[in-house]
Structure 1
Amino acid sequence: MTIESIRAWGDRGVFRPRELGPPSLAAGVPWRLGGVAAVPDTVLEAGRVGALEVRAASTRGTSHRFDGVVRQDAVGVSGLDERYVLAAVADGVGAAADAHRGAELAVRHALAELAPMLPGADLATVDLTRALRAADRAVRAAGPSPGERATTLTVAVVEAGPARRFRVVRVGDSPAFLLTDGAFLPLLTERRGFFSESATDCLPSPRWPAQHASGVLRAGQALVVASDGLGVPVQDTQAGAYLAQAWAEPPGPVAYLHQLQFDLRSFDDDRTAVVVWARGEP
């Protein structure tokens, strides 16, 4: 098999990932299947809850595809009684052997904890950190060596009614943004000066208190919850301008996934994002 025939593998034409600069060195070569059948390369979800439009996707980075490593990000979204959108994003710590499992456990148990708390409650009074604690217990209790399941976790709740308030809570560095006026505005700040600046807090047994953010989604704005595989290029490269324009209004689900899979050298980690748009005044 020649190099030319190897690099002919992959999507072409309108399906080819958008190149925002020099392509990833792993782009255009055959993917290697991961070793865990229960963790697919890509997941995609979309829907409408009241006046909110929702898109969610998690996709394996080109480096993991090239190396045959399973996707270590996880994502979950749900609508609750047409009143709320619940979202969670987890980014398994790359050095942990079962990071993918920790991420999936964190998302699943955080959303399961939140769902029964919200009906009949005022969002402002709900203890969102309970979702983080439930995820932490699940990651620790899943077997020996819980550190091998290390993962970040960011959880968000958005009201689908007229108020359209949102709240976000996180452990680790998976970011949340307000997409408004063509820019991604960070809602949570990076921690500095506690331990090593390069250290990422994570489940299980986080070292630092959870971070919180809250606000209101105005018409035309969107809340974005992501892994740093998207958060870093959005803040540091032309990907920010590209996606701000592409996501000025909700794209179709397949178009959303295609936009998320842009190609840019050195930014080849798993990418995960939930975007919740306020469609207009109810």
Structure 2
Amino acid sequence: MEQVQEYATEDVAGNSPRVPQPLVIGREPRLVSRPGPLPEVRRPDSEIDGAALPGLEIRAASLRGDAHRYFGTPRQDAMGLWHDGGRTLLACVADGLGSKEASHVGAAAACEVAHAGLSDSLEPVTAAARIIESISEEIKARADRLDLPPDELSTTFLAAVVRELPETSAYQAVLMRVGDCMAWCLREGVWLPCFPENDTDAAVVTSATHALPRDVEHVEVACADLYPGDMLLLCTDGLARPMRAPQVSTQLANWWSRPEPPSLPEFFWQMSFRAKTHDDDRTAVCLWRV
């Protein structure tokens, strides 16, 4: 891969550094990556977050896609982080269905209330069902307040409940999803899927039809143990789809396998990479086991 200058440096005159344009991976995209008209629905163009917790370093970002920027439509992705102050972290991402004008409301609702269904006393499948059910009920309630059919707030959803395993060096993530969001563990530079991957585009399209609040019975549950040096990635399909290209997955693995997690500005710049035909909203939460 061609070597690129990744980060800005101060010039000889001591002026403030200029941040370079997002890295183009592969062919030049058709749309220019810059804000367009203001959406009628006011949501921030992008969000960035992060945390340093015992044993974990977290970076999270949700970016409006170039297509939504060009047409002046709102970001339909959302993300959330919640820590109980002890041993439990919940991280989640959601992707409002593009065909539903109010889906951004459903995505935001899912990430805002996901932690309300947490319980230490339930086994993973039952706990996941409880969380998904509580999200579904909240989306229906918000639809009712907006006088809209619940289906108009449809969103996919993925969450990880991460806890330290007693008397071990591992943390365990219990993952739950409805729809086509993806989770991988990055271990020694290799991406390991947390859910079974489908080989055909037809299968991916079929799984993408599952969404909340409708498909509560289609929740999938998986577990992943995280050891020092591992990184868990949760993302919407705006990142999962370009990651099918080896150029993209290799570049992200190179960035995110470095000894130190990126700073918040570095992570936002990395997430802003551009790839032809991939102009959807893009959201990711990365959890490094340190």
TM-score by length of 2: 0.83
State the alpha-carbon separation in 1 of the partners of residues 179 and 71 from structure 2.
25
- The percentage of aligned residue pairs carrying the same residue is 33
Counterpart AA for 2:186: L
Give 1:235 shift.
2.3
State the alpha-carbon separation in 2 of the partners of residues 252 and 231 from structure 1.
22
Corresponding residue for 2:32?
Answer: 27
Deviation track 1:107-155 (CA, whole Å, cap 9, x = no partner) reads: 11212322xx24xx58758712211111111112222311110100111
Give 1:34 shift.
1.8
Matched, 1:155 2:156: no
Give 1:176 shift.
0.7
Corresponding residue for 1:3?
Answer: none
Of the three residues 163, 166, 174, the one matched with 2:173 is 166
Matched, 1:211 2:220: yes
Maintained 8 Å contact 1:88/1:111: no
Q: 1:187 and 1:196, CA in 2 relative to 1: closer, same or farther beyond 3 A?
A: closer
State the alpha-carbon separation in 1 of the partners of residues 131 and 239 from structure 2.
23
Matched, 1:97 2:104: no
Matches within 5 A, 1:187-266: 187-189=194-196, 197=206, 199-206=208-215, 208-249=217-258, 250-266=261-277
Extract unaligned runs of 5+ from structure 2. Answer: 1-16
State the alpha-carbon separation in 2 of the partners of residues 113 and 63 from structure 1.
34
Maintained 8 Å contact 1:82/1:160: no
Matched, 1:131 2:136: no
- Report the 3-state secondary structure (helix = DSSP H, G, I; strand = E; otherwise coil) of the residue aligned with 1:127: helix
Maintained 8 Å contact 1:85/1:160: no
Matched, 1:47 2:48: no
Give 1:13 shift.
5.0
Deviation track 1:12-31 (CA, whole Å, cap 9, x = no partner) reads: 95331111122322124552
- Report the 3-state secondary structure (helix = DSSP H, G, I; strand = E; otherwise coil) of the residue aligned with 1:15: coil
Maintained 8 Å contact 1:178/1:184: yes
Extract unaligned runs of 5+ from structure 1. Answer: 1-11
Give 1:163 shift.
3.5
17-26 or 158-167, larger mean C-alpha shift: 158-167
- Report the 3-state secondary structure (helix = DSSP H, G, I; strand = E; otherwise coil) of the residue aligned with 2:155: coil
- Report the 3-state secondary structure (helix = DSSP H, G, I; strand = E; otherwise coil) of the residue aligned with 1:128: helix
